[in-house]
Amino acid sequence: MKILMLLPFLPIDQMSGGQTRWYHLIKFLSKKHKITVMSLIRGDKEKELSYLPEIKKYCEKVLVFDRPKSPWTIRNLFLTLISFNPLVVIRNFSLEERQAIKKELEENKYDIIHAETFYVMPHIPNTKVPIVLVDPTIEFSVYKHYVDHEVFWLLKPIYMFDVIKLKFWEKYYWRKANRVFAVSEEDRKIMEKELKDVEVGIIPNGVDVSYFEAKKINKKFPPRILYHGDYKWMQNVEAVNILIKKIWPKIKAKLKNVKLWISGRSIPRSILEYAKHDKNIEISESPKDNRDVFKASSVLVTPIMSPGGTRLKVFESMASGLPVVSTPIGVAGLKIKDGVHAMVSSDPTKLAEKTVKVLTDQKLAKNLAVEGKKYVLKNFSWQSIVDGLDKIYQSLVFK
Q: Report DSSP letters for 16-33, one per residue.
A: SHHHHHHHHHHHHHTTTS
Q: Are residues 92 and 194 in the same domain?
A: yes
Mean per-residue pLDDT, 347-370? 97
The three-class DSSP label of residue 142 is helix
Burial class (CB in 10 A: 0-12, 13-18, 19+), 109: exposed
Report whether pLDDT(38) > 90. Answer: yes
Strand bridging mode 343-344 / 324-326: parallel
Residue 151: the pLDDT is 82
Nearest to 36 by CA among 109, 92, 89: 109
Same domain, 247 and 173: no
Alpha-carbon distance 141 to 190, whole Å? 9
If we measure between CA atoms, which residue out of 313, 220, 293 comes closest to residue 259? 220
391 or 155, greater pLDDT: 391
pTM of the model: 0.81
**With 80 as the cut, is the pLDDT of residue 28 above it?**
yes
Lowest mean pLDDT among 141-150, 193-202, 235-244: 141-150
187 in the same domain as 99: yes
Give the span between the Cα atoms of 148 and 159, in whole angstroms: 10
Hey, what's the torsion of the CAs at 5, 6, 11, 16, to 10 degrees? -130
Long-range contacts of 362-368 (CB under 8 A, 24+ apart): 364/323, 365/298, 365/299, 365/323, 367/340, 368/323, 368/324, 368/340, 368/341, 368/342, 368/343
When the pLDDT of each residue in the chain is averaged and rounded to a whole number, the result is 90
146/6 same-domain check: yes
Residue 267, amino acid = I
- Nearest-angstrom CA–CA distance, 277 and 269: 13
Rounded Cα distance between 178 and 198, Å, is 10
Tell whether 215 and 336 lie within a shared domain. Answer: yes
Whether residue 303 sits in one domain with residue 159: no
Per-residue model confidence (pLDDT) at position 47: 62
Regarding whether 265 and 248 lie in a shared domain, the answer is: yes
- What does the pLDDT read at residue 363? 97
Q: Is 163 found in the same domain as 134? A: yes
Rounded Cα–Cα distance for residues 54 and 109 (Å): 25
Are 38 and 100 in contact by the 8 Å Cβ rule? The answer is: yes
Contacts 24+ apart (CB under 8 A), 70-75: none
Q: Based on the structure, what is the number of domains in the chain? A: 2
Residues 219 and 263 both lie in one domain? yes
Give the domain range for residue 291.
209-379
Do residues 174 and 254 share a domain?
no
What tens digit of pLDDT does each residue of 68-106 get?
Answer: 766 667 777 677 776 778 888 888 888 999 999 999 999
Residue 232 sits in the same domain as residue 113? no
Name the more confident of 368 and 51: 368
**Residues 158/128, Cβ–Cβ less than 8 Å:** no
Pick the most confident of 19-28, 37-46, 342-351: 342-351
Q: Which of 86, 235, 106 is nearest to 173 (CA)?
A: 86
Q: What is the mean pLDDT of residues 5-23?
A: 83
3-state secondary structure of 92: coil
Examine the domain organization and report whether 202 and 308 are in the same domain: no
CATH of the domain at 296: 3.40.50.2000
